[in-house]
Amino acid sequence: MTKRVLRADAVLDVALGLVLLAATWGALYDAFGLPHPEPELFTQVAGGLLLAFGYLLWIAPRETSLTQAVSLTAAFANGLGAVVLLVWLAGGHVHSVLLWALVPVLTAFAVLEARIASRSVAMLLPPD
């Protein structure tokens, strides 16, 4: 389960990173019903960071200590992302069905990755 969850989140992060890197492509944002980011520079930097984090998520299952650290970080990032999106969407500042659909996905990844991180910690502890 660990490998599948982390790799699925890696694919999501890479996809989101590519969308953010395309911040100057207004037609793509219009097609997805996304608000146009301004300035695009910060959006593109965030896209690059998501691509890099997607790579870490992909390789994290190879090493238990890496799995724990990356899972905990991903759980935090996904949970925070879900909260930020929910605040913007519920406040009426953004109107996008795609972003509404992303909230439960990010929440699910946050919960699953928190469970992976806690299980990884137990594996690292010495036996009694």
pLDDT at 111 over 70: yes
The reported pTM is: 0.86
pLDDT at 107 over 70: yes
Q: Encode pLDDT of 57-89 as tens digits.
A: 999 999 888 999 999 999 999 999 999 999 999
Q: In angstroms, rounded to a whole number, what is the distance separating the alpha carbons of residues 18 and 15?
A: 5
Q: Encode pLDDT of 2-61 as tens digits.
A: 999 999 999 999 999 999 999 998 898 888 888 888 889 999 999 999 999 999 999 999
